[in-house]
Structure 1
Amino acid sequence: MFVSYKWLQDYVDLSGVTADELAERITKSGIEVEGVEKKSEGIKGVVIGHVLEREQHPNADKLNKCLVDIGQDNPVQIICGAPNVDKGQKVAVATVGAVLPGNFKIKKAKLRGEESNGMICSLQELGIEAKLVAKEFSTGIFVFPNDAKVGEDALEYLGLDDEVLELGLTPNRADCLSMLGVAYEVAAILGRDVKWPEIDSANANENASEYIEVKVDAAEDNPLYVAKVIKDVKIGPSPLWMQARLMASGIRPHNNVVDITNYILLEYGQPLHAFDYERIGTKEIVVRRANQGEKITTLDDAERTLAPDHLVITNGNQPIALAGVMGGANSEVGSDTTTVVLEAAYFTGAVVRKASKDHGLRSEASARFEKGVDPNRVRQAAERAADLMAKYAGGTVLAGSVEVDTLSIEPAVVSVTLDKINVLLGTDLTVSEVEDIFTKLQFEVNTEDNEFTVTIPTRRGDISIEADLVEEVARLYGYDNLPTTLPVGAAIPGKLTAYQQKRRQVRRVLEGAGLYQAVTYSLTSEEKAAQFALEKRESIRLAMPMSEERSQLRLSIVPQLLEVLKYNTARQNDFIALYEIGSVFLKSEAADLPEEREHLAGALTGLWEAHPWQGEKKPVDFFVAKGVLESVFDTLGLMENIEYRQAEIAEMHPGRTAEILLDGKVIGFIGQVHPIIQNELDLKETYVFELSFKALADAEPEAIRYEAIPRFPSITRDIALVVDKETVAGDIQRVIAEAGGKLLKEVGVFDLYEGENMEQGKKSIAFSLKYFDPQRTLTDEEVTKTHDKVLSAVKEKTGAKLRG
C-alpha cells in the first residue's frame, strides 16, 4: 500500500511529524514501512511554461521550434521533439540549470543550428513511471490545465513535492488498504482525531429507482448491492490533484468517472464500478452465478469462459461484469457516456478469489474483497463517489439509491482482563492506561472489575479473540517500552540440552577434521540390515515397503555410508570421508514399536593427504580413522576412559579391527572393511567406525585437573621387549604403567620388529618410558630402582625378555 504523506494530511493532523518520523512510528507499532520515497528528490528548476509560438524546425522534420513564456522578463526559445507540442499549451519546462532524475543537467544548446534554452518535459522525464502516465500523454509531453499559472513550480502542480510511504501489510491488516484505514492507525499512534471527507448529498428531483432495478439471486455471495444513478456527466480528464494522488498510489489515470471510482477505492478501501447506463441495454441489474460455458469480454479485451462458481453482474440476459474483479467491455464508460450507474457492493472474499485465480486477474478491487472490506462503508463510499462525479464530471445525482440488503454483520465483542494483558506483556499497566489505548484506537470499551469488554469496529475484522486485544495494547503502548525479562521455570525455552550440546560439538569436530555429514536412508534391504550391527537382533520389516531395497529398518549406519562411498568413487571422487549421527532400530519383544538408538558412524577411503608439488601422498589407514575418533573423545573429555581391543567382526578385516571400550564396556568398533566387501563395492581400502552415541553423550568426563608445568628435568629410558606374537602391546603397556608408580609419567610404543634374527613366533616391541618428579630432580639411582621394578614386573606377568 502506497500512502501519500500530503494526502494523509486530509484525514489526520500531521503537524510536527515528518514523513520519515511517521514511517518510524508506524513501523514500531507493528506495520512495517518498507521505504519513504521523496518524489521530487534530485529534481529542481522545473516550472510551468506557456507555449506562445510553435513552428517547424527549419533543419529537422521531427523537431519543433517553440517560443515559451516561463514567467521571466522575456520568453525563451526551446527546441522540442514531442509530437503533441502546440501553441497555447501549458507545459512543464526544465529551465537552463535545472536538474532532472539521474542527475541530468539542462544546459544551453544548439540543435541543428537553432538555439534551445531549456527542455519541455514529459512526465517520464520527471521520474514518473511510463505505466502510470495517462494514455494521451504516454508518447509526448504533459499538458497542464489552462488555469495553471505560468512560472509556478511544476512539481507542486504534479504532486511531486510529496513523500510516499510504502507499507508492507500482512494479510490480516486489510483495514490499512485505504487512506482512511491508515488515518485511523496514524491517529491512534499520534493521539489525534480522524477527519472524514465531507459529502454533499444534494440530489435531483428524479429517483434512481425510476432508472434501474436490482435483483440478487446469489445472496450468500452478495448480501449487499447498492446502485446509484448519475445523469448528465461529461467525460473528461479528472482534476490534476486527483491524477497526482492516483499516480502516487500506483494507479494510472483514465477519465474523471473511472478515476473517481479508483480514488474512492484508495480513500475508503471500497471497490466501486461505473457502468454506462445506455450500454447496459436493460433497466435491470441481476447478480447471479454464471452458467457453465457462459462468456464475457472484460475491459482488457480478453474473452473469458465462465463457470458456475464465478459470480457475475448481468443485465438480466448477459454478463456485464465479473463481480469484484473486472467490468465488461460491453458496459464500459466511454467518451460518449452521459449517464452512469455506480455500483457499490459487498462481495464475499471466497467467490471473488475463485474468479480472480481462475482467470489470472489480480486487481486492486479483487485484492480488497479477498481480504475483506468494511460493510459499513459501502453506502458511504457510493455517496462520496456520486458527490465527486457531480463536482468533477458535471453530473446530476438522482435521489436515493437502489439496494438489495440481506447483510447481517454485527461488530465483534471481545473481553480481556487487565491481569491477562500484564501477564502476557510483562507490564504493570493500569486500567486507565489500557482504556486510553482502546480510546485512541476508537474502540468502544466498557470496564468492570478490571475486565475490558471491547466492541470492535467492523473495519477491524482481524480482531476476534482476547490475544488480538493484547496485541493492540502492546502495539500502541510500544514494543520498545515492553520490559525485558528472562523466562522462569525448570526448562528455559530455546536452550540446548547437554545431550544436544555434545551432538553439536561432535559434528563440529568431525567437520573440522575434514569429514562431510551424510543423511542416509533409515530403510535398507534384508541382506544389509544386519551387517555391521553393534547388537545382533532380528531386523524389522515394513508392512508396505516401497521396494525390497528399502524394506527393512536398519540396525547399523555403516552399510548406507558404504553405498554413498560407492556412488561417489564411481564418479572419480578420489577421497571421501563421511560421518552420520543417526538412528538405528532394534526390535523389542516388550513393545510394539522398535527401540530407537542414536549411533555415530563414519567411513573413509582414498587419499587422506595429497601434495603433488612435494610428491607426498598419504592414504587413509587405521590410525587416521583412530585419530579422527580420538579427537572426538578428547573433545568430550573421555580420552582417559577409552580403550581399544582387537576384535573379529564378520564384515571387517580380521587383523585390522578393534572394539572400542568406554569404562570397560564395549560401545563400538573401528577398522577396515573386509576385502571381499570392498571388492563387491569397487572400493579401495576403506575404514569405518560405529559407536553408540548415547553411551558417549551419557558418560561423565572426569573433572579437569590443573598440573603445573614441571620445572625439573625428566629422564627417558627405552626398552625393547621380545614377546610371543600373540601378546598384545596394550597388555604390556598396562603392566609397565602399574609397576612404574608415581615416577613413571608416560609410556608409549615406538617400534615393532618381526624381521631377521628374530626367533620364530616372537616379535620385538619397543617402549619409551619417561620418569620425572614435579617437586625435584631425580637421581639415576632412583630411576634405575623404579626401572628395574618395571622390568621385573613385565618379565613376570608377560614372559617378556629384554632384547639384546
Structure 2
Amino acid sequence: MLVPIEWLKEYTDIKVDVEQFCERMIMSGSNIETVERFGEGIENVVVGRIVDIEKHPDADKLLVTQIDIGEEALLQIVTGATNIFEGAYVPVVLHGGKLPGDKVIKKGRLRGVESNGMLCSPGELGFEDKVIPVALKDGIWILDQEYLLGQDIVEALGLKNAVVDFEITPNRPDCLSMIGMGREAAATFGGTLRYPETDCLKEEGKAKDYIEIEIKKPELCRRYVGRIVKDVKIEQSPWWLQKRLIYSGMRPINNIVDITNYVMLEYGQPIHAFDIRDIADSKIVVDTAEEGEIFTTLDGTERKLTSNMLLIKDGKRGVAIAGVMGGLNSEIKEDTATILIEAANFSGDSIRATSKKLALRTEASSRFEKGIDPNLSETAADRVCKLIELLGAGTVIKGSVDVYPTKIDNDAVAVRVERVNNILGTDLSGKEMEEILESLEMQVSRLGNNMKVTPPTIRQDLQEEIDFVEEIARIYGYDKLPVTLPKGNAEAKKSRERTLRDRARELMTAMGANEIQTYSFVSPRGVDNVRIDEDSWERNFVRLINPLGEENSVMRTILTPNMMDVLGRNYSRNISSVRAFELGNTFFKNLDEEEALPDERDAMAVGCYGEGESFFTLKGMLEELFASLGIRGTVYVPESDYGVYHPGRCARINYKDTELGIMGEIHPDVAEKYGIGTRVFCCELAFDQVIRNADTTKFYKPLPKYPAISRDIALLVKEEVYVAEIESIIKEIGGKLLESVSLFDVYRGKQVQEGRKSAAFALKYRAADRTLTDDEVVKVHQKVLDALKEKLDAVLREM
C-alpha cells in the first residue's frame, strides 16, 4: 500500500519528519517496505509559457519555440515534441539544470539552431511510465492551469513528497486505504481522525427512477449500492487529484475513472461506473454466469466464464465480472451523459477463485479477496458523488438504490484488564487501555477491571480477547514492553529420534564423512539417471502445484540421486576422494486417500569414492553405525536386480523381519551419467526403521577373569558360498564357549582351485567360570569343522 505523506495529512495531523513517522509506525505494528522521495534531484526547472512555435529550417521533425519564463528576454528552445501549442504552460529546464538520475542539461545547437534548455515530459521529471496520465503519455507535460512564470516547478506542482510503501498483512484489509492508514497514524501519534465530506449540496430527482437492482446470490454479494449522476462531463482531472493517484501507483485516465480510483484508495472500497445507456431494461442483476459464457472485459480480452463466477448483469447480458473488472460493453465513453455508480460488497472467496481461474488480478480483486466491510459501500458511493459535484463533473441524483439483505454488526468482546497486564507484563490501568482502544474507534464499556469492547465493522480480525491484547500492545508500543524470560516448567530435552539422529551424525563424521544437505524439491529425471524401473515405488512422487521449474517440480522419494549429484560435482572439480552422508526426509504420495497429506519418512544416504574405498569400507561404516545404535546381527542379502547398483556387488540390509536399506557399488552406467570416472559406493537406509529398531540400553558385563584360547582357520569353500553363511554355522556350533568370530582374509589365486576361495577366520574361545583346557577347545573346534564340511563342503586349506 503506497501512502503519500502529503495525502495522509488530510486525515490526521503528523507533526514529525518522515524518519520518525516510519519508526513509530513500525513500533505500532505497521510493516514498511520502502520510503521513496519524489521531487529530489530536480534543479533549475521552472514554469514557462510557449509564446511562439516555428518549424526548424533544417529538420522536418524539430520545432523552434520561444518560451516566456518571466524574464525580459524570451528563451529559445528546440524540441521534437508534437503535442505543444502556443499559450501552453510547460516545465522548462534551464542551462545547467538537473533532472532525476543526475542528468545535467546544457544549452547547445541542434541542426545549427541555438537551444537554451529543454522542455520536460513527466518521465523526465522522475515519474514511471505506468503512472503518467493518459493525456500526457506521449509528449511534453502540458500543465493544467496557469502558474507564475519562472516559478520553480517542484514548488509550483508540489512535487516534493515522501511515499511510504506499507506491507499490509492479509488480516488487515482495513489498512488497504488512506483512511485506514490515517486511523493507524492517529492512534499512534495521539491525533484525531478526520473523515472526508460525503454530503452533496445539490441533488435532483430520485435514483430509483433510473435503476432497479436485484441480488440473486446473497451468499456471494452481501450488499449492492447504486447511485446515479447525470449531465456528466468527461475531461481531465485537476492536478491535485492526478498527483495523488500517481504517487499511489495509479495512472490518471479521466475525471470519472479517476474519482472512482481515488475513492477506492481513500476508503478501500472498489467502485465501478457504468454508462447507463448500456444497461438494458435499466436493471442490474447480481447472479452467476452461464457455464462457458464468453465475456469481453475492459482490456478488450474475451474471457470464458464458469457457472460459479459472479457476474453483474443487466436485463439481457453480463456487464461486469463482479469485483474483478468491468465489461467493454458498458465502459465510460467521451460522450457518456449519465452514469451508474456501483459500490458493492462481494464474497472474498468467490472473487479470489474467479481472479485465479481467469488469471486476472486487479486493484479491486486484491481488496475483495482480503475482505471488505459491507458498511463502507454507501459511504464510498456518497464520496464519489461528492467529488463529482466538487469538480463540476455532473449533477448528482438524490438518494441511492441500496440492496442490503443482512446488515453486518460486530459483537462486544469481554476484555479483562488483569489478563492484558499478565500477558504483556505491564501495569496499565483500565482507563489507559480504554483510551488506546477508543483511539482505534472501538466502543468501550468499562466496569472496574472488566471491559466490553465492540470493534468497528471494518476490523473483521478482532474476534477474541487476545486480539485486543495485541491491539493494546502495539499502540502502547512494543518497545515499551518489559523484557522477560518465558515462564514455565516444561522440561527441555531432545526426543529419542533426535538423539539417535545426532548420534548417527557424530559417528559418521568421526569416520571421516562430511554431512551434506540437499533440496527436497527435485527433478523427476533424477530417478531416471539412477536407472530406477518405470513401475517402481520410487516414482510415487508428490508433485508441486506451482513449481519454480521442471528441475524442482517433485519431492524426493530417495536421497541417492542427490548424493550422486554431490559426488559428481566434487569429481568434476578434481576432488580425488570423498566420503559424504545426508540425513533427510523423503516424501510419498498417499495412494489410499487422494486428498490426504503425503507420507514423510526419514532416510539416510552414504556415498564415497577414491583410493582405499570399497564395498567393504562402506559396509564397515554401516556396521559401526548399527553397533552404536544397538542393532546387532544384521544380514546382508545379495541383490542383482536393482538398477542403481552393480549386479553382484549389491546387498539388501535386513534386521530380523525388517529391511533397513540397500548398499553396494554404483552401476557404471549411473556413474557415467554423473560424470564420475571411478568406482563409487553408496547406500540408502530407511532411517525411520533404523530408529525403530535401535536399542541403546547399556548393560554391565564384567571383564573376563579367565584367559581365552584363539584358533585361526582358513577354509576352502565354493565361490558361491557367502561369508555370512560360514559365520552363522560357526556361531551356532561354537555355542557358549565361542566368544567371537571374525573374518580377516579372503583369497583367490594360484594356490586355490578355480571355482573356490579361501576365507580365513579368527575364533576366540573362553569360559566365564573357568580356564578352558586344550581338550575342551579341540572338541568344540572339531565340531565346528565337521559342521562346515557337512553343510558347506568346507575343508581346511593346507598351508
Which of these residues, 610, 618, 621, is aligned with residue 607 of structure 1? 610
- One-letter amino acid of the counterpart of residue 337, structure 1: T
How far residue 479 of structure 1 moved from its aligned partner, in angstroms, is 2.0
Provide the C-alpha distance between the structure 2 equivalents of 1:374 and 1:112, rounded to a whole number of angstroms: 62
Q: Deviations over 1:764-802 (max 9, x none)?
A: x9xxxxxxxxxxxxxxxxxxxxxxxxxxxxxxxx9xxxx
Name 1:409's counterpart in structure 2: 408
Give secondary structure in 1 for the equivalent of 2:165.
strand
Asked if 1 retains the 8 angstrom alpha-carbon contact of 2:132 and 2:251, the reply is: yes
- One-letter amino acid of the counterpart of residue 467, structure 2: D
Give secondary structure in 2 for the equivalent of 1:236.
coil
Provide the C-alpha distance between the structure 2 equivalents of 1:227 and 1:687, rounded to a whole number of angstroms: 72
Asked if 2 retains the 8 angstrom alpha-carbon contact of 1:76 and 1:117, the reply is: yes
Name 2:138's counterpart in structure 1: 139
How far residue 459 of structure 1 moved from its aligned partner, in angstroms, is 0.9
Asked if 2 retains the 8 angstrom alpha-carbon contact of 1:91 and 1:144, the reply is: yes
Provide the C-alpha distance between the structure 1 equivalents of 2:570 and 2:392, rounded to a whole number of angstroms: 78
Provide the C-alpha distance between the structure 2 equivalents of 1:366 and 1:88, rounded to a whole number of angstroms: 43
Q: Deviations over 1:196-231 (max 9, x none)?
A: 112342233422223333333333333322222222
Provide the C-alpha distance between the structure 2 equivalents of 1:565 and 1:234, rounded to a whole number of angstroms: 70
Name 1:118's counterpart in structure 2: 117
Name 2:107's counterpart in structure 1: 108
- Mind listing any 5+ residue stretches in structure 1 that lack a counterpart? 522-545, 552-559, 584-597, 609-617, 653-671, 702-721, 728-751, 753-762, 766-797, 799-804
- One-letter amino acid of the counterpart of residue 3, structure 1: V
Q: Deviations over 1:325-366 (max 9, x none)?
A: 222222221111222222222222233333323322211112
How far residue 500 of structure 1 moved from its aligned partner, in angstroms, is 3.5
Asked if 2 retains the 8 angstrom alpha-carbon contact of 1:604 and 1:625, the reply is: no
Residues 520 and 725 (structure 1), Cα distance of their counterparts in 2 relative to 1, 3 Å cut:
farther
Provide the C-alpha distance between the structure 2 equivalents of 1:423 and 1:100, rounded to a whole number of angstroms: 56
Name 2:505's counterpart in structure 1: 507
Provide the C-alpha distance between the structure 1 equivalents of 2:4 and 2:35, rounded to a whole number of angstroms: 10
Q: Deviations over 1:402-439 (max 9, x none)?
A: 22231321123222222332333333333223222212
- One-letter amino acid of the counterpart of residue 192, structure 1: G
How far residue 192 of structure 1 moved from its aligned partner, in angstroms, is 0.9
Asked if 2 retains the 8 angstrom alpha-carbon contact of 1:94 and 1:106, the reply is: yes
Provide the C-alpha distance between the structure 1 equivalents of 2:335 and 2:191, rounded to a whole number of angstroms: 45
TM-score, normalisation: structure 2? 0.70
Provide the C-alpha distance between the structure 2 equivalents of 1:120 and 1:350, rounded to a whole number of angstroms: 49
Asked if 1 retains the 8 angstrom alpha-carbon contact of 2:200 and 2:389, the reply is: no
- One-letter amino acid of the counterpart of residue 4, structure 1: P
Asked if 1 retains the 8 angstrom alpha-carbon contact of 2:664 and 2:682, the reply is: no
Give secondary structure in 1 for the equivalent of 2:82.
coil
Provide the C-alpha distance between the structure 1 equivalents of 2:562 and 2:105, rounded to a whole number of angstroms: 67
Provide the C-alpha distance between the structure 2 equivalents of 1:131 and 1:404, rounded to a whole number of angstroms: 36
Give secondary structure in 2 for the equivalent of 1:447.
strand
- How does 1:670-689 map onto structure 2 within 5 Å? none
Q: Deviations over 1:159-214 (max 9, x none)?
A: 42111010111111100111001111111111111011123422334222233333
- One-letter amino acid of the counterpart of residue 188, structure 2: I
Residues 510 and 335 (structure 1), Cα distance of their counterparts in 2 relative to 1, 3 Å cut:
same
Provide the C-alpha distance between the structure 2 equivalents of 1:111 and 1:520, rounded to a whole number of angstroms: 60
Name 1:67's counterpart in structure 2: 66
Name 2:731's counterpart in structure 1: none
Residues 632 and 97 (structure 1), Cα distance of their counterparts in 2 relative to 1, 3 Å cut:
farther
Give secondary structure in 2 for the equivalent of 1:144.
coil
How far residue 569 of structure 1 moved from its aligned partner, in angstroms, is 9.9
Give secondary structure in 2 for the equivalent of 1:223.
strand
Q: Deviations over 1:377-409 (max 9, x none)?
A: 211111111111122144211222222231321
Name 1:2's counterpart in structure 2: 2
- One-letter amino acid of the counterpart of residue 350, structure 1: D
Name 1:755's counterpart in structure 2: none
Residues 110 and 323 (structure 1), Cα distance of their counterparts in 2 relative to 1, 3 Å cut:
same
Provide the C-alpha distance between the structure 2 equivalents of 1:566 and 1:369, rounded to a whole number of angstroms: 49
- 1:383 counterpart = 2:382: yes
Worse-matched range after superposition: 569-578 or 24-33: 569-578
Name 2:741's counterpart in structure 1: none
Provide the C-alpha distance between the structure 1 equivalents of 2:680 and 2:335, rounded to a whole number of angstroms: 89
* Alignment RMSD: 5.2
Residues 326 and 604 (structure 1), Cα distance of their counterparts in 2 relative to 1, 3 Å cut:
closer
Residues matched between the structures, number: 652
How far residue 7 of structure 1 moved from its aligned partner, in angstroms, is 0.1
How far residue 505 of structure 1 moved from its aligned partner, in angstroms, is 6.2
Worse-matched range after superposition: 65-74 or 455-464: 65-74
Residues 698 and 67 (structure 1), Cα distance of their counterparts in 2 relative to 1, 3 Å cut:
farther
Asked if 2 retains the 8 angstrom alpha-carbon contact of 1:417 and 1:450, the reply is: yes
Give secondary structure in 2 for the equivalent of 1:53.
strand
Provide the C-alpha distance between the structure 1 equivalents of 2:181 and 2:36, rounded to a whole number of angstroms: 17
- One-letter amino acid of the counterpart of residue 183, structure 2: Y
Asked if 2 retains the 8 angstrom alpha-carbon contact of 1:561 and 1:578, the reply is: no
Residues 673 and 52 (structure 1), Cα distance of their counterparts in 2 relative to 1, 3 Å cut:
closer
Q: Give the percent of matched residue pairs that are identical in Structure 1 and Structure 2.
A: 39
How far residue 518 of structure 1 moved from its aligned partner, in angstroms, is 9.0
Provide the C-alpha distance between the structure 1 equivalents of 2:565 and 2:253, rounded to a whole number of angstroms: 64
Residues 431 and 697 (structure 1), Cα distance of their counterparts in 2 relative to 1, 3 Å cut:
farther
Asked if 1 retains the 8 angstrom alpha-carbon contact of 2:517 and 2:584, the reply is: no
Asked if 2 retains the 8 angstrom alpha-carbon contact of 1:63 and 1:79, the reply is: yes
Name 2:329's counterpart in structure 1: 330
Provide the C-alpha distance between the structure 1 equivalents of 2:559 and 2:217, rounded to a whole number of angstroms: 63
Asked if 2 retains the 8 angstrom alpha-carbon contact of 1:262 and 1:272, the reply is: yes
Provide the C-alpha distance between the structure 1 equivalents of 2:184 and 2:8, rounded to a whole number of angstroms: 11
Give secondary structure in 1 for the equivalent of 2:203.
coil
- How does 1:735-754 map onto structure 2 within 5 Å? none
Asked if 2 retains the 8 angstrom alpha-carbon contact of 1:49 and 1:70, the reply is: yes
- 1:340 counterpart = 2:343: no
How far residue 603 of structure 1 moved from its aligned partner, in angstroms, is 5.8
Residues 698 and 448 (structure 1), Cα distance of their counterparts in 2 relative to 1, 3 Å cut:
farther
- One-letter amino acid of the counterpart of residue 52, structure 2: E
Residues 461 and 602 (structure 1), Cα distance of their counterparts in 2 relative to 1, 3 Å cut:
closer
Asked if 1 retains the 8 angstrom alpha-carbon contact of 2:77 and 2:117, the reply is: yes
- One-letter amino acid of the counterpart of residue 86, structure 1: F
Asked if 1 retains the 8 angstrom alpha-carbon contact of 2:207 and 2:227, the reply is: yes
- One-letter amino acid of the counterpart of residue 184, structure 1: R
Asked if 1 retains the 8 angstrom alpha-carbon contact of 2:214 and 2:285, the reply is: yes
Name 1:19's counterpart in structure 2: 18
Worse-matched range after superposition: 87-96 or 147-156: 147-156
Name 1:51's counterpart in structure 2: 50
Give secondary structure in 1 for the equivalent of 2:191.
coil
Name 2:283's counterpart in structure 1: 284
Worse-matched range after superposition: 182-191 or 334-343: 334-343
Name 1:352's counterpart in structure 2: 351
Provide the C-alpha distance between the structure 1 equivalents of 2:446 and 2:330, rounded to a whole number of angstroms: 53
- How does 1:553-572 map onto structure 2 within 5 Å? none
- How does 1:95-494 map onto structure 2 within 5 Å? 95-491=94-490
Query: Which has the greater radius of gyration?
Result: 1
Name 1:757's counterpart in structure 2: none
Provide the C-alpha distance between the structure 1 equivalents of 2:128 and 2:89, rounded to a whole number of angstroms: 21
Give secondary structure in 1 for the equivalent of 2:186.
helix
How far residue 241 of structure 1 moved from its aligned partner, in angstroms, is 0.7
TM-score, normalisation: structure 1? 0.69
Provide the C-alpha distance between the structure 2 equivalents of 1:264 and 1:408, rounded to a whole number of angstroms: 23
Asked if 1 retains the 8 angstrom alpha-carbon contact of 2:234 and 2:255, the reply is: yes
Give secondary structure in 1 for the equivalent of 2:319.
strand
Asked if 1 retains the 8 angstrom alpha-carbon contact of 2:513 and 2:581, the reply is: no
How far residue 468 of structure 1 moved from its aligned partner, in angstroms, is 1.3
- One-letter amino acid of the counterpart of residue 486, structure 1: L
How far residue 38 of structure 1 moved from its aligned partner, in angstroms, is 0.2
Asked if 2 retains the 8 angstrom alpha-carbon contact of 1:3 and 1:164, the reply is: yes
- One-letter amino acid of the counterpart of residue 272, structure 1: I
Provide the C-alpha distance between the structure 2 equivalents of 1:50 and 1:203, rounded to a whole number of angstroms: 37
How far residue 257 of structure 1 moved from its aligned partner, in angstroms, is 0.9
Worse-matched range after superposition: 129-138 or 169-178: 129-138
Residues 268 and 685 (structure 1), Cα distance of their counterparts in 2 relative to 1, 3 Å cut:
closer
Residues 684 and 390 (structure 1), Cα distance of their counterparts in 2 relative to 1, 3 Å cut:
closer
Residues 504 and 74 (structure 1), Cα distance of their counterparts in 2 relative to 1, 3 Å cut:
farther
